[in-house]
Structure 1
Amino acid sequence: MIKKFDTEIAKCEAQIKAVLKKEDWLQEKVSRLLTIKGIGLISLAIVLAETQGFALINNVKQLTSYAGFDVVERESSTSVKGKTKISKKGNSRIRAALYFPALVASQHNAALRAVYQRINSGKTSMMVGVVSLQRKLLLLIYSMWKSGTLFQDRSLTSGDQERKPLLRHKDEVFENKVGRSTDLPTLDELPSDLSSEALLRQ
């Protein structure tokens, strides 16, 4: 059974590569995104497929909410505010696809490793840093997809990190060159049982 599954996985990877080679512009964009340390072809293909190449994504806030990385505050029945957490109301396939890339980036991506270590400093659970890197990788993919730039891996000190963030995304809106100009609704605005395919057709 394992051998059969491995064969099917190899076929899927071959089909993905074949699709990428059909369009020169797509192959070029994907090649640039694969320069991000930690991101592999399958993980990238899932992100692009689930967002239809960010065709209906207009800004990072929208993308963050769609993927379920938006932060909400825990509240008890007595309205006592607690720690914050991600909503997880968004596309679980995107979050799953970025889990292992985040783990790899925490070890082999100099810039993201520094962020990971800073966030997890003094914390008992390392998942806080992993989730943060998942979100950063997603926004980095989105930024590079729109701008067509190559990833630059730099070793950052804590001081440099404050002056030169890995990705400037606050209140930043990218030009939407593909698809309609209609805003993509967030997952918070839709029934939880809607699939990503149905959502992206809105």
Structure 2
Amino acid sequence: MNLSVLKYTGEEVGRSVQLPKEVFGVEPNDHAIYLDVKAILAGRRQGTHQSKERNAVSGSRRKIKRQKGTGAARAGDIKSPLFRGGGRIFGPRPRDYSFKLNRKVKKIARKSAFTYKAKANHISILESFSFEAPKTKNYLGMLQNLSFLDQKTLLIIPSVDKNIVLSSKNIKQAKVLCVDHVNTYDLLHAKKLLIMETAIMPIVEKLTQ
């Protein structure tokens, strides 16, 4: 697939780039995408939920009434889960939801995500650029020039550029990631994918080696 290279001002540079088929033209694997997205979202869960079970509730452990002769069901102490204010039965406990996913599956998932974006013509290639200072106005101007102001966008840059990253921080629908941090969830979550020209080869090398 050939794509024209654009300046961040929206103008065409006058040359085009061929997207490598080994990343942007593979046979998509939906199950690999599902597994990778599931692993990413599971890893983002805090897992700090907790409720008080019977041993954590404050209260007397004295038997509240005699065992027999009351005409009602037998009962133990006031901390019983059957009573209001008692402990919770099998309540949630702090836990880690993350799980390991095979590296090859991750690569297949990311290549599948790039392929879907390429097939849908949702990829734009930008000439390398940087901002003199971190200003939200600069990033908004770039999105407006590219006609992506009202859409969820993901900009992939070859390495961390603080001015670009900080310029996008206050824009809800915009996200910037360097090649090392690209993941399947963010690729699919974005409507438009912006790739800096110098980031194409690092992406290919990372997903094909």
How would you bin the TM-score normalised by the shorter chain? under 0.3
Q: Greater strand percent: which structure?
A: 2
Q: Greater helix percent: which structure?
A: 1
